[in-house]
Amino acid sequence: MSSITIQNARKVFGRKEKVVALDDVSIEIEDGEFFVVVGPSGSGKTSLLRIIAGLEQADAGRVYLDEDDVTNRRPRDRDVAMVFQDYALYPQLRVRDNIGFGLKRRKVPKDVIAAKVDELAEMLGLKELLDRRPGQLSGGERQRVALARAIAREPRAFLMDEPLSNLDANLRTATRTELAQLHQRLRTTTVFVTHDQVDAMSLGERVAVMRDGNIEQLDTPSGLYERPVSLFVAAFIGSPPINLVETQVTDGTVTVGEAEVPVPGASLEGRSVIVGVRPADFEDEAFALDPSWPKLPVAVTVRKDLGSDAEVVFAVDAKPVRRDDVSSALAGGEFAEVDLVHGRDVPMFAARINAKSSSRIGHNLQLTIDPGRIYLFDPDSGSLILGPGRPEAAVVTSEA
């Protein structure tokens, strides 16, 4: 196990048309950390991972495992293990030999390999499958074989490139838990790449959000949620995504539909802002914690009962936010951008409310907004001006 240090990594693909996959990335991943890299498609996550593995040579920058400068080492000499999206098992080898392959290459004695393979098969529930070939396994089983193969070698780090993306929803959740447990047990440094922010939030001790070849923010999951540095991160993290409207601060308040939400800090008066409200920060008036919270009457167009709580979707009479950073963060996400029911160009909001709420589709509902939890962003730079993670109205006035 090792720490991983990346200094000013840069990678450009293509001769004529240059594609900057990594612009200038520096990270220090601690020994034993579960580090998640998340970002939309094409943001450079895979490139970063491949540079750590040595499968891609960076155009500039250095890679260290602990103190060792491995920048110019071949993949086989770096002693890291990669778990690929489609597992990349050796089709001609039995599960047993797949798991033992790396050890065999490193000239480990046969009986040691056999013992290790048995131990891992026990641990990952693969005992019955050891004599099958990868073609005879289900997706989840292949996934576990790929994990076992990575673990077997006791490498300095695991590098995982979207290892869950070929699994269906249930298996995905189960495997996520397994991965977390495995990491608890082995404490091997893990770099986990995903474009799924649920993976990122549930697995990462720290999460790097990538955008266009740079790290937009590096923080703990709750840090990303509470203190996003930008509109991009705010829109990317959280499911359903944050609700956004563009407005102005007038008389110390911002308007979200018909709700007037007080904003602390006089310095914002008259300023154009983008207001963000997380779905979880709405509540049905009947269950609101504080009767003084601003009210927002809405007409429910969709209600999804999720058991523990309910999600309602409604149109809000406001200026929709159409920006490149938001749409790239939301690409592929489940997000109603227009009001399909009424055919109007207004933003559709989602709210997570108490499951006991009596709201029904087509009926009106009185929602409240927790004023202490709104986010304000600068429309020009997209950076955060004020958010719930900065309690007591710590207002960022400079553009820094």
Collapsed DSSP state (helix, strand, coil) of residue 70 = coil
Q: How far is the CB of 64 from other proteins (least distance, A)?
A: 17
Our CB check for other proteins shows the closer of 59 and 378 to be: 59
Q: How far is the CB of 109 from Mg ion (least distance, A)?
A: 37
What are the C-alpha distances in Å from 108 to residues 90, 111, 112, 313? 19, 9, 7, 59
As a whole number of angstroms, the distance between CA 70 and CA 73 comes to: 5
Considering the rule CB under 6 A, would residue 43 count as an interface residue with ligand ATP? yes
Q: How far is the CB of 57 from ligand ATP (least distance, A)?
A: 12
- Give yes or no for a contact between 284 and 354, defined as CB atoms under 8 angstroms apart: yes
Collapsed DSSP state (helix, strand, coil) of residue 171 = helix
Which of 144, 195, 206, 211 forms a contact with ligand ATP (CB under 6 A)? Answer: 195
- Give yes or no for a contact between 383 and 285, defined as CB atoms under 8 angstroms apart: no
The stretch near ligand ATP (CB under 6 A) out of 45-53, 86-94, 307-315, 349-357 is 45-53
| Binding-site partner at residue 80 among other proteins, Mg ion, ligand ATP, none, CB < 5 to 8 Å by type | other proteins
Supply the DSSP symbol for 90: -
**99: enclosing H helix or E strand:** helix 95-105
The stretch near ligand ATP (CB under 6 A) out of 42-50, 97-105, 314-322, 392-400 is 42-50
Considering the rule CB under 6 A, would residue 41 count as an interface residue with ligand ATP? yes
Question: What amino acid is encoded at 94 in this protein?
Answer: R
Q: How far is the CB of 197 from ligand ATP (least distance, A)?
A: 12
What residues numbered 272-291 form the site for Mg ion, per CB under 5 A? none
How many chain residues bind ligand ATP (CB under 6 A)? 13
Our CB check for other proteins shows the closer of 93 and 130 to be: 93
**Phi and psi torsions of 299, nearest 5°:** -105, 120
What residues numbered 25-84 form the site for Mg ion, per CB under 5 A? 46
Supply the DSSP symbol for 238: S
Q: How far is the CB of 320 from Mg ion (least distance, A)?
A: 30
Question: What amino acid is encoded at 17 in this protein?
Answer: E
- Give yes or no for a contact between 380 and 246, defined as CB atoms under 8 angstroms apart: no
Considering the rule CB under 6 A, would residue 13 count as an interface residue with ligand ATP? yes
Tokens of 213: 């070849």
**103: enclosing H helix or E strand:** helix 95-105
Our CB check for ligand ATP shows the closer of 15 and 74 to be: 15
| Cα dihedral 241, 245, 249, 253 sign | negative
Binding site for other proteins (CB under 8 A): 53-55, 74-76, 78, 80-82, 84-86, 88-92, 101-102, 105-106, 149, 153, 159
Which of 4, 6, 9, 21 forms a contact with ligand ATP (CB under 6 A)? Answer: 21
Q: How far is the CB of 187 from other proteins (least distance, A)?
A: 20
Q: How far is the CB of 161 from Mg ion (least distance, A)?
A: 6
What are the C-alpha distances in Å from 105 to residues 39, 50, 108, 151, 229? 35, 21, 8, 15, 46
| Contacting positions for ligand ATP (CB under 6 A) | 13-14, 19, 21, 39, 41-47, 195
